[in-house]
Amino acid sequence: MLRTALRNVFAHKARLVMTALAIILGTAFVSGTLIFGDTAGNAYRNVSAKNYRGVAVLVTANEGIRAPGDQHRTALDERLADKIRALPGVASVRPSATGYATIADKKQRPMGEEWQSLGADFTPGKDGKDSRYPLTSGRGPAAADEIALSTKAAADGPVLTKKLVGTVDTTDPRVTSGGTLALFDTATAQRLYSGAGSFSEFSVGARPGVDDVELTERIQRMLPEEKASAQSGSELARIQADEITMSTRSLTKSLMVFAGIALFVGAFIVANTFTMLISQRRREIALLRAVGASRRQVVRSTLVEAAVLGLLASVAGFVLGLGVALGLRPLLNSTGAHLPDGPLIVEPASFGYALVIGVVVTVLSAWLPARRAARVAPVEALSEIDQAPAQRSLVVRGVIGAVLGGAGVATMFYVATKTSSEGINAGMAGSALVLAGAAVLAPLLSRPLVTFAGKGLARMFPASGRLATRNALRNPRRTAATASALMIGLTLITGLTVLGHSATLGVDKMMERQGLTADYQVSSEGGWGLGKDAAGRLSAVPGVAAAVPLRTVGVDLGSDAGGLTGTDVSNLGKVAGLRFTSGSAEAVRAKNTIAVSEKTAGERGLRTGQRLKVTYNGDESGAEDEKPGRAKGPKTATYTIGGIYTDNEVVPKAFVSLATIASHVNQPSLANERILVKAEPGKASGLADKLRSALGSNPLVKVKDQSVLRAERSGSIGDILNMTYGLLGMALVIAVVGVVNTLAMSVFERTREIGMLRAIGLARRDVKRMVRLESVMICVFGAVLGIVVGGFLAWSGGHLVKSSFPAYEFGLPWPRIGLFLLIALVVGVLAAVWPARRAGRLSPLESMGVQ
């Protein structure tokens, strides 16, 4: 029986390759994901190890990042550094001043995100080098007008007002993953980041044999309380290792979901293939039974055949997975992941998992066909011709499918009543039940859908259309199994597409509801705010009708927290489209007068003319916070409500005049959090460059029109969808392989029938067309089923999105849905190319067994 199983595997190499390809692609995704996770984790760990090499203790100032113009000093100065150097076991103390420094590119645009735009001091030793930042060219900065950049930042050609004297290398992951690094001389870095004569951190090196934890405790005891803290090198390494492990594990798990989908689709292909093989080998199996093979031996023979197939496919899939692992990094980097470089890490466990998963999935998929093979009666060996197995009733299958599908639909209707994350688990379970129910009911659903499609095809192609329809309906289980593989992929793609489209509709709706009538929004990188005179400078630009500053501060509005906006009340209506239900904007111009939104007024029972107590939030000690959008301290004021306006997201809670809010906020010189600009009629085009020039062409200034603001809010949705399409594309490729495999085996199974059709006059082109039309019907059936199920799941599950995105609005992307149907049609035609060609080449006499 073992020899029989091995002979069956290698008897038809083309069939072997087509069947194995489904498992190859699935295991390639699994092994590639595992290898990629190990590779990314190793790269991050190597970078982190280099960053903290030689650091036994890291002492950090707790003051945080300084605001521009802030003159305070940290507690870390040379005197403290000397005290630490004097401690037993300390080998070295390296002070440094660090913060953020944005670099402009050739177009005066900031390079990198704020948290990745690093600035630091260059502290050379006696040899003129800084071991933290190895020079790649030139020298380090030595004066206030000099600067050194990371190699990549310098290569991108920044526009500088300082003299570039050198380029350096660094292993900091924020820089290696797409950020920038600017180095200054120590005095300049202190003035920018930590204050004259002080530092941001101390890197302490220990003598050999000194315990870094014990050294950390001694250093911590001598630090000023609450102004600085110390962490051991081992603790830093552990924290970073944990963070790296969690981040890479999370990414790997996400990718494994797609790998699981690919394998799940592959399982349909394997099960369908073995079902057809058993049907074609019924006489052979019956003969084995007649000469003494038991049912168990038949089952074992079939499972051995599946195991060998799975083993070969898994090995090939693992080799292909190496390419997948190499390709995932540039794919994810294209979406902004910025993964560090590193060698490909292949762990034995990755190979073991791929091998086990591939074999197990293949064997499990072949288990039911193997049981059917064992039921073949020995007497069938006496038949002179191959007999197709009797069609089994679909009643039991229909009942099971109805129960599964009904439970899933009921669960999703329940989920549709939820608007919070509480229903996520129920939504996942309901989606799985609906998908399972659709797959089980697919044979029953195929009859009406294929019959309906067949009527149209029969009118266009009378002979080929009718034959193709009968072939598709002849074995609804086979048709359903082939279509289900495509259905699963399109269900997921359709569901995600509908969710993405609905989210985009929500963004558009939110933009409309926001009441933003301004043509441009001007703000600063990092949220530090714009100068107090910025609004006046923008107002003076030719073509500007109004420039309205906005500044929001945290407050308690009577009973709970909210945001209070200070603005130019006289011109706010020009950029925000305000509509008052009571009171007026004129009344709010007066000092100590406030306007509140309808929602705020309704929640608190407020009326125009009523007095409202407002408490400004801030530091209890009265110390100024680092960013300008916060209050100086907890101050209370009582304002008169001058008006109530319809909800408007430009000023969502309440607003007062700038004069009213100025005495309560930190950094009054930075009065503008953002400025809304309204252009004169017909003057909006090309105004962005003029606005930027009016503010000194500062690279930190961001000027955005409404189209850019809308794209920012919905752009990430498109990126996620594009990446998801790429990952789910593997499942669709496997589904296409399944269609090709099924049609090819179906042609082989119907060799005598095709020969008879040719003998009675059916032309070669009609035979090819018959196979192509059958393929098209199977693919379109799977696509329709997938689109309907995916749309339903997106509708019901979309309600959960409203908890975090209230503007979410369900909508169907009809152009995309039409594109999916067109793709299914093209897939059907392409998948039938080889089977149709093979069918067309069959000789009528040879096919009928005539010598």
Nearest to 810 by CA among 821, 799, 818, 820: 799
d(CA 393, CA 614): 74
Consecutive 10-residue averages of pLDDT for the chain (851 residues): 62 66 84 86 72 80 58 82 91 87 71 70 80 84 85 57 75 64 87 85 90 90 88 81 72 77 79 76 79 85 87 91 85 68 86 90 88 79 52 78 94 82 81 91 90 88 90 86 85 87 79 75 76 88 93 74 85 89 91 90 90 73 40 72 89 89 63 86 88 82 81 63 70 80 80 84 90 92 93 89 75 91 90 88 69 46
pLDDT at 380: 65
The string of DSSP letters for 128-197 reads S--TTS-EEEE----STTEEEEEHHHHHT----SSEEEEEE----HHHHTT-EEEEE-HHHHIIIII-TT
| Interval 305-355: pLDDT, tens | 889 888 989 999 999 989 888 887 777 776 666 677 778 888 898 899 889
pLDDT at 629: 46
How many CB atoms within 10 Å of residue 107?
8
d(CA 816, CA 796): 20
Q: Which two tokens stand for residue 233?
A: 């090198």
Contact 31, 351 (CB under 8 A): yes
How many CB atoms within 10 Å of residue 142?
14
- 3-state SS, 68-111, equals CCCCCCCCEEHHHHHHHHCCCCEEEEEEECEEECCCECCCCCEC
d(CA 631, CA 90): 42
Contact 303, 312 (CB under 8 A): no
d(CA 731, CA 486): 8
Paired strand residues for 92: 205
Strand order, beta sheet including 57-61: 90-96, 201-206, 57-61, 228-232
pLDDT at 376: 80
Contact 636, 589 (CB under 8 A): no
pLDDT at 851: 46
Q: Which two tokens stand for residue 667?
A: 């950094």
d(CA 636, CA 619): 14
pLDDT at 315: 93
* Distances in whole angstroms, Cα of residue 727 to Cα of each of 30, 256, 257, 428, 815: 12, 10, 10, 20, 22
d(CA 272, CA 282): 16
